[in-house]
Amino acid sequence: MKWHEKFVAVDHSRWSEVERRACASSEQVAILHGNAVDQLSSLPSSCVNTVVTSPPYWNVRDYELDGQIGSEPLEDYVRRLVRVFDQVKRVLVPGGSAWLNLGDTYFNQLITENGLPPKTGWKRCKQLSLVPFRVAIALEDAGWWVRNVVAWRKTNAMPSSVRDRLSNTWEPLFLLTNCERYYFNLDAIRVSHATSDAVERRRAEDGSNKGKAYGKADLRKWLSSPRHRATIDGLQEVTRRPNAPDPVELAAYLRTALERKGESIKWVAAQIQQPFERTRHYFRTDRIGSRLPPPETWEELSTLLDLDGTFDDAMAVETDVNIFRNHPNGRNPGDVIDLPNARGSEVHFAMMPQELARWALRATLPSGGVALDPFAGTGTTGAAALELGGRFVGIDLDPELVIYMANRFEATMAADWSYRSRIKVAHRKNAAGSPALR
Ligand SMILES: C[S@@+](CC[C@H](N)C(=O)[O-])C[C@H]1O[C@@H](n2cnc3c(N)ncnc32)[C@H](O)[C@@H]1O
């Protein structure tokens, strides 16, 4: 069993409870109508693997729904989202994750606090509110790990007439997790390497791969990356210390030797003719600051501090032929994704592009797992989850959208699905003929 498998299993017997709570449900889909916090509170714990969601942005649009999120003062908005995410954390399995897409807004004459244009404090006109980051920090405080801020670059971003700043062309997509170790299938979203192994190797051999250390042999001993070393000396000159001890352990050992000698780090630096700023790292016993001395320095330290040879074997250097090998499944795609924004439809004007949800779910939805969107709208996350063979729990406050989603996923529903009767009040209210209704 791989380490993460024990974290991510969803007990599918919980699905029956999820289904029972839903107003439209099937083996694959459960749609709940109502306020995200209330509906999430009704779900059993640990019944979801991952979340992809885009809540209403702060102060951007009025959904004209009682209990909607987005039109309250900024601090209340952040607090309400944190409350939703407290419940999200509870319904996620240990090792689960959540992708959170939020856009930003500028304060202006129309975006008011308590009915007045903001003039004082930091909430001044023209100020970028930085809401997505305020939410992310509040979520960190509430116990989430923020693992990435992915820049979703909108390849069809709206042109802007602003003249005193840059136009806004990207939005953050936060990757949040409820544990340090969690399910993440990087292989599923790897992209092709820019060059092949053969090209890399040829460049190193013929010297055309000119890295920052090219021609600077004195830099060689400070560079640990085999690729940098190869740009100086070609493929033959790669050195490794595969058995080197933990730098913290080695630093403690060096400190003891230094104390025995009755000397200071400054004295060592002067003797080995290296800057104090570099030398002191060999003696730092904290994980952030400790560094292994390079092989040549180790020899000097050994003589200078009368070391007893305990670590000599472990610090021994192996010289090897460097082999450039790209990861066979492709490279990490990085934290910028280029995608066009979805076109607003008559059903919903703030839809997420399905490709964005699919991309995120490929990495965090295990096979046959359950995806959740507590602000589901038209069910974009659900459509992507079903495409990948998963299940979907969608919540929305808007009865029209709940019916829209139920229609959208009707093919997965059992013959006797009964969402219409369960939300018939909403259905009647909209009987005037919204395109979302049938
Ligand atoms: C930005 S839209 C989500 C769009 C969705 N990602 C899609 O692709 O269609 C936000 C949704 O949150 C819903 N909403 C607003 N306040 C809510 C609340 N308190 N609880 C649940 N849903 C809410 C709105 O009805 C809206 O559909």
Instruction: Find the CATH number of the domain harbouring 287.
Output: 1.10.260
pLDDT at 347: 67
pLDDT at 6: 58
Q: Who wins on pLDDT, 122 or 237?
A: 122
Least confident of 138-152, 298-312, 346-360, 383-397: 346-360
275 & 410 share domain: no
9 & 151 share domain: yes
Residue 208 lies in a domain: no
Residue of 66, 68, 378 best suited for mutating to test ligand 1, as the one with most atoms within 8 Å of CB: 68
Half-sphere exposure (Cβ direction) of 204: Cα atoms closer than 13 Å: 25
State whether the beta carbon of 397 lies less than 6 angstroms from ligand 1: yes
How far separated are the first and last CA of the chain, in Å rounded? Answer: 48
pLDDT in tens, 81-104: 999 999 999 999 999 999 999 999
138 & 59 share domain: yes
Q: Write the residue with the smallest CA distance to atom 25 of ligand 1.
A: 398
Residue 438 lies in a domain: no
State whether the beta carbon of 157 lies less than 6 angstroms from ligand 1: no
Q: How confident is the model at residue 230 (pLDDT cuts 50, 70, 90)?
A: low
Residue 195 lies in a domain: no
Q: Would you call 395 exposed, middle or buried from its count of C-beta atoms within 10 A (0-12, 13-18, 19+)? A: buried
Contacts of 27 (CB under 8 A, 6+ apart): 15, 391, 412, 414
Calculate how far, in angstroms, residue 54's C-alpha sits from the geometric centre of ligand 1: 7
45 & 161 share domain: yes
In degrees rounded to 5, what are phi and psi of residue 116?
-120, 145
Q: How confident is the model at residue 379 (pLDDT cuts 50, 70, 90)?
A: very high
Mean pLDDT along residues 364-373 = 96
Q: How confident is the model at residue 436 (pLDDT cuts 50, 70, 90)?
A: very low
Contact between 360 and 52 under an 8 Å Cβ cutoff? The reply is: yes
State whether the beta carbon of 229 lies less than 6 angstroms from ligand 1: no
Residue 286 lies in a domain: yes
Q: Tell whether the model's pLDDT for residue 202 goes beyond 90.
A: no
What is the number of domains present in the chain?
2
Q: Write the residue with the smallest CA distance to atom 27 of ligand 1.
A: 377
What span, in angstroms and rounded, lies between the C-alpha atoms of 379 and 370? 14
Calculate what percentage of the chain has a pLDDT beyond 90.
58
376 Cα nearest atom in ligand 1? 5
In degrees rounded to 5, what are phi and psi of residue 113?
-115, 125
State whether the beta carbon of 377 lies less than 6 angstroms from ligand 1: yes
State whether the beta carbon of 69 lies less than 6 angstroms from ligand 1: yes
pLDDT in tens, 235-289: 445 667 888 899 999 999 999 999 999 999 999 999 999 999 999 999 999 989 9
pLDDT at 154: 94
Instruction: Find the CATH number of the domain harbouring 19.
Output: 3.40.50.150
Residue 167 lies in a domain: yes
The range of the structural domain enclosing residue 146 comes to 5-190+330-429
Q: Which of 310, 342, 364 is the last residue of a domain?
A: 310
54 & 131 share domain: yes
37 Cα nearest atom in ligand 1? 20
Residue of 39, 375, 393, 434 best suited for mutating to test ligand 1, as the one with most atoms within 8 Å of CB: 375
Of 53, 41, 138, 48, nearest to 95 by C-alpha is: 48
How is residue 184 written in tokens? 């993440």
State whether the beta carbon of 101 lies less than 6 angstroms from ligand 1: no
Contact between 117 and 109 under an 8 Å Cβ cutoff? The reply is: yes
State whether the beta carbon of 80 lies less than 6 angstroms from ligand 1: no
State whether the beta carbon of 396 lies less than 6 angstroms from ligand 1: yes
- Please state, rounded to an integer, the average pLDDT across all residues of the chain: 85
74 & 164 share domain: yes
pLDDT at 53: 98
257 & 186 share domain: no
State whether the beta carbon of 56 lies less than 6 angstroms from ligand 1: yes
Strand partners, 339: 154
Residue 185 lies in a domain: yes
Least confident of 126-135, 141-150, 188-197, 292-301: 188-197
120 & 33 share domain: yes
Contact between 24 and 395 under an 8 Å Cβ cutoff? The reply is: no
What span, in angstroms and rounded, lies between the C-alpha atoms of 238 and 228? 9
pLDDT at 425: 46
Contact between 353 and 377 under an 8 Å Cβ cutoff? The reply is: no
Q: Tell whether the model's pLDDT for residue 215 goes beyond 90.
A: no
State whether the beta carbon of 77 lies less than 6 angstroms from ligand 1: no
156 & 15 share domain: yes
Mean pLDDT along residues 126-134 = 95
